Structure 1
Amino acid sequence: MLHQLTVLFKDHLSTDPTVYCTDKYTVYQLADGLRFGIENTILTPRELDLLNLLVERVVTSESDQIVTWRRRLEQPSSEEAHPFRMIHFLFEQLDVRTGEDLQQLLTSFFHPSSWIIPLTSNRLVVIEREDSVSENDLHDFFTALQSDFLMDGKVLIGQQRQSGDLAAQFRLEQAALRELPLLHIERFLPALMRLTLLSNEVRDDLIERFITPLERESRETIDAFCRANLNVSLTAKHLFLHRNSLQYRLDRLTEQTEIDIRSFEGAMFLYTLLLVA
Structure 2
Amino acid sequence: MENQWKTEIDRIRQATGLPIGLHTCAAHAWERERRRFEAEGGEVVRWAADQHAVWYIGIPRDAWPEAARALLPLLLPPPEREMTIQQQAINWLTSFCSGRTEPLPAALEAVWQWREPRAVFLLTRAHADRPLELSQWQQLLADFFPSPSAQHIWLLPLSAVHLLLLVPVTALPETEPAEDDRAMWLDWAFGLHDLLTTETMESVIVCVTEPAAHPRQLPQLLQKCLLLSRALQRFRFREMVAGTWQYPLEQWAASLDDATREAVRRSLDRMGAMTLSPDQAEILDALFAHHLNISETARHLYLHRNTLLYRLDKLKDQTNLDPRQFSDAILLRLAMLFQQNA
| Interval of TM-score (by shorter of Structure 1 and Structure 2) | 0.3 to 0.5
Choose between structure 1 and 2 for higher RCO, CA contacts under 8 A separated by at least 6 residues.
1
Bigger Rg over Cα: 2
Normalising by the residue count of structure 1, what TM-score does the alignment of the two structures yield? 0.44
